[in-house]
Homo-oligomer: A and B are copies of this chain.
Amino acid sequence: MHLPTLLTLLQHGNQLKRTARAGWVQRGVPNAENVAAHSYGVVFTALALAQVIEEPLDLGRLLAMAALHDLPEGLTTDIPTPAWRYLPPGIKTEVERGAMNEILQDVPFAGAWLDLWEELHAAQTAVARLVHDADKLDMYLQAYIYQRQTGNQQLREFWRTRHTFYFPQAQAVYDALREMGEGRGEKEEGRRKREEGGRKREEGYG
């Protein structure tokens, strides 16, 4: 493979470290995470969920798909919903496809990576659906952590409508986070017990 092509490709991956996750920035979260940090969360979450779900998955395809899922945002940035509200449906995917093609021009294995990306967007396979679940779960976990650590009341919006996951294990984690994020009284005691278990590990942070 032509050296400049490989170097340019690595720079595209690196660019995600300079691409902000707009949802947090818009809500005033200071020093909000970037897309690279989020993508790591998606890879890690997919890796963990793959260990607990019932069906066997191709781990390589799963983690590669998780790693590539937001790669186009290095070119497009993380565009929020309103920008897409005034365009025909499906436009977002077209724009990201165009960006993926631009990123992968001249790359010999572009076909393999585009296949993964298309499989993700079709959302038909177990691997694709687990990546979608991991993507959402990382976002909700992050919302909960920001809520706890920054006192940002606007983050409560994230819990307003219950999100439906493909996999019950992801759903269960989310439902627990949502309960804590909403601070629902009758579950307070359960939350404290879960937190108690977590606290021992948190000492590692102190």
Contacts of A130 in B (CB 8 A): none
Interface residues of A in 73-87 (CB under 8 A from B): 74-83, 85-87
- What's the nearest-Cβ distance from chain B to residue A20, in Å? 6
Q: Which of B44, B152, B205 contacts A13 (CB 8 A)?
A: B44
Assess whether A122 is interfacial by the CB under 8 Å rule.
Answer: no
Assess whether A119 is interfacial by the CB under 8 Å rule.
Answer: no
- What's the nearest-Cβ distance from chain B to residue A24, in Å? 9
The answer to whether A205 touches B75, judged by C-beta atoms less than 8 angstroms apart, is: yes
Assess whether A89 is interfacial by the CB under 8 Å rule.
Answer: no
Q: Which of B8, B22, B173 contacts A3 (CB 8 A)?
A: B173
Assess whether A164 is interfacial by the CB under 8 Å rule.
Answer: no
Contacts of A62 in B (CB 8 A): 60
Assess whether A6 is interfacial by the CB under 8 Å rule.
Answer: yes
The answer to whether B201 touches A12, judged by C-beta atoms less than 8 angstroms apart, is: yes
Contacts of A79 in B (CB 8 A): 76-77, 79, 83
Q: A11-43: contact bitstring with B at CB < 8 Å (1 yes, 0 no)?
A: 111111111101101111111011011011101
Q: Once bound together, how far apart are the Cα atoms of A203 and B83, in whole Å?
A: 12
Q: Which of B17, B43, B58, B102 contacts A82 (CB 8 A)?
A: B102
CB-CB nearest in chain B for A60: B59
A-B contact pairs, 18 of them (CB 8 A): A1-B52, A4-B194, A7-B194, A10-B44, A11-B141, A11-B201, A18-B28, A23-B206, A33-B36, A43-B63, A44-B67, A52-B109, A77-B78, A80-B206, A82-B204, A87-B94, A149-B150, A154-B202
Hey, which bits of chain A sit against chain B, CB under 8 A? 1, 3-4, 6-20, 22-23, 25-31, 33-34, 36-37, 39-41, 43-45, 47-48, 51-52, 58-64, 67-68, 74-83, 85-87, 91, 94-95, 97-99, 102-103, 108-109, 112, 137-138, 141-142, 145-146, 148-154, 157, 169, 172-173, 176-177, 194, 197-199, 201-206
